[in-house]
Structures are given as structure tokens and as C-alpha cells.
Amino acid sequence: MTGSVDRAVAGEGRRTGRRKVLVGVAAVMMLAGGGASIAHGAADGPGGGGHAAHGTASAGGSADGQANPGGKADADGKVDADGQTSEVGMVGGASRSGGFWMRADGVFSPPGSFVPSDALTYDTGLVPAAARIEVTQYADRTTTRVGTRLRGLLPNRAYGMHVHTSPCAADPASAGPHYQHSASATADPVNEVWLDFRTDRNGAGAAEARHDWGFRDGGARSVIIHDVQGGAGKRIACFTVPFSS
């Protein structure tokens, strides 16, 4: 009788061990197969080498930490499909090449909305509430790159965008003028950061500007979206961005 009990206990122990192994394998498969994403600062910045922030490919994050128009998981694992977006904020850090990188993203909402946002739309007909924006910056000793990706806008439409000097507020004029590397009587893409773009049929757009100069400390604080491309236009949306000098 004692031998039968011992054999039963041993059999149950083996089954318990197998269950633990299976649970462990399932957990590893979940992490490898989706739903997990990583953001880290040991990188060469957005778009270069070891990337600054990225989601796992199966989770819907892009390889360079950019916003993913497919609408699954961003670099921080936040789900943003079908309007179920959330304010993600900012990540950044030093790069191995001696520069630094920054990524900020937000969800547009009108001024005074119940949920505050750093991304404000002043014209929901052109920049709908819940449209999404991402701005990246990478700078080293010789180059400054500023990029943007957007989605949820009107399809097949041209928009203007520039870096401005002050944070966004309920009054579109609060963002101040275009940031200029040197004081100039004219607005041009050499002396300023222009990010004009055209959306695709899904309402997504992207742009990048490169310069051989960097921002002055605290001099660049936002991006403004305009209703037309070029040096001017109505201010239809604003996103406060923590640009670094």
C-alpha cells in the first residue's frame, strides 16, 4: 500500500513539473510573439544604427521607433488602433555616437478638452480629434535631424509644418514665430525647420528636415501644422515638443 502511494505522489510530481515547463514555454512564446515592446536609450538615434526606441516587429512597432500607421503597439506598448489612442509622452537619451535623440508623440484634442494634451487642434475639420503625431530629433556634432509622422488626418491633402519658438496654448498665436537659426526677414527651409508633408489615402504623412546647425537652448518649443504648405498659412494644430539644444 505504501509503495502505491509513493508511486502516485511521484507521478503527480512529474505532471506538476510538466505543467510548470509548459507554462514557462507559453510565457516565452507570448513575449516573442507579440504584445511586448521596448524603449531604450543605448542607441544611435532614430533611423540610425542601433535604434533609439523600438517595438518588437510582431507587436506592430517599427524598427526605428517611429509611429506605426498599422495601429498596433507603439514603442512603449501603448495600443493606438481605431481611435483607442493614449498620450504616450517623450523618451530620449544619449547615443553611442556622441549625440542625442528624442521622440515625443501625442494625440490631438481641442483646447479645453476633458483630457489635457500637448497636441492641440484648432480646426477639427482638417486635424480631427484623436489624430496622432510623432516628432523625433537626432543631433550630433555635425547634423540635426527633425522628423515627423502623423496619421488620422484628411487623406490626400497637403499640410505645412514648421518648428516654432514657444509652447502650444489655446490661442494659436501663443506658439510664437518660426524658429530661425539666424534672424531673417524671410521664411525659408534653410534657415528654419520645415516639415511640409502630404497625406496618403489613409490620412498618414511623414517628413524630415536636416540641418548643419542645432537649436539654441530653449529656443524651439513646438511644431505648428498649417493649412497650406510654404512659409505661412493658417495655424490649424500645435504640438509642444521638448526639443534639445
Does the pTM of the predicted model rise above 0.75? no
- Give residue-wise pLDDT tens across range 3-59: 544 444 445 545 544 444 333 433 333 333 332 222 323 334 444 433 333 232 222
Which residues, including other chains, have CB under 8 Å from residue 211's CB and lie 6 or more apart?
143, 144, 181, 190, 193
Q: Terminus-to-terminus CA distance in the chain, angstroms?
A: 80
Place of cell 540635426: 144
Averaged pLDDT for residues 101-124: 95
Encode pLDDT of 180-234 as tens digits. Answer: 999 887 789 999 999 999 999 999 999 999 999 999 999 999 999 999 999 889 9
Q: What is the pLDDT of residues 146-193, one digit of tens each?
A: 999 999 999 999 999 999 999 999 999 999 999 999 988 778 999 999
Q: Contact at 8 Å (CB) between 170 and 112? A: yes
**CA angle, 152 as apex, 61 and 129 as ends, to 5°?**
115
**Pairing verdict, β 222-226 and 158-164:** antiparallel
Mean pLDDT of 135-142: 92
